[in-house]
Structure 1
Amino acid sequence: MSHTLHAPPVQSDTLVNRCQNREEDAWTELVQRYGPLVRMIASSFGLRRADVEDIAQQTWIRVYEGIRSVREPDRVRAWIVTVTRREALRHLNRRTNGELPIGDQQYFDMADEQPCPEQHVLLGAELDAALAAVAKLPEAQRRLLILLFGAQAVSYDEISARLGIPRGSIGPTRARLLRQLQYALDGWRS
């Protein structure tokens, strides 16, 4: 799986057109490319990991159902962001049986709010910077991040077996890598 990090990315418009034609490898690439973003957005709502994964799964179902209606393929990232936010809001609404506690009205206000073009550009640039920072990591560290934050949850025991590293070193290594990536992103932002 790590060899995909080295392949040149397919242009968004080409990728979307291939997804609209239901090409399986294009769907795999779309999910790999935007899966971390989908989980990051869902996580920003303060939900448990299982809820985040449910939202991610529902988001990809909605994307699959609606991809043929995308008229501006170069804006697919913005569309996926919007779909994810709406799915997170639906999830929150279902979780509270249709009633939000006082003070959480902001979630409904966000549903109708469309991010401005500048936010799309910044989000895209930040994602590109994060991917570039990950690409600069040694192969073993990239593999660890993929197993930790990939589309499917992998236990520390399985990671230990796959990568041949002690289970007890995974958490500290994860924390060190996240600090390193945070430092790289902080440098990019300033």
Structure 2
Amino acid sequence: MHEVGEARTSAVLLRRAASGDQQAWQELVDRNAPVVWGVSRAFTTNNADAEDIYQATWLLLAENLGRLREPESLSGWLVTTARREAMRLRRARRRESPVGLDSGDLGPPDHAEDPEHKVLRAMTSSRLAQSFAQLPQRCQQLLRVLAVAPETTYSQVSQALGMPRGTIGPKKSRCLAELRRLMLAGDIPEEVAG
């Protein structure tokens, strides 16, 4: 019985809001905000996108206040609209993202056709290999282990290389700084050297 009364009240609030009653609009938002926010958050992990979905849903309701076919089913309309907005935003983000952030592909863009990027990549690879070879053997070992098996814990690295666990982080930082210095010393542009 409570749901029927609430549905009727939603229909009344919609009519009042459509006629310009700000208090009715605020009551509609207050009653339904948790549902709209919940749907918005369910379809994205990004807080900014969830806020965009939330706002777009309310905007669509404001634009369609007097045109809802079943005003007593407002919460269902809001859920459906929020879900559609989430899907629309997801498609838009895929088009906007040149590296496909939604697909998990976070690699560098493919410049296979671009001769400049081919030369820079080859130069960087060659210079990286040369610079890496100039590092002390201990640095080479440490960086290889961490590059090949990034999930390895410092305890495991300590056992594998016979290094004290507390020295691994600082040693890694010093080795990477030295590698960067060696790459920059070879007249490689800083943006290529990292």
TM-score class, shorter-chain normalisation, is 0.3 to 0.5
TM-score (norm 1): 0.45
Larger RCO (alpha carbons 8 Å, 6+ apart): 1
Q: Looking at CA atoms only, which structure, 1 or 2, has the larger radius of gyration? A: 2
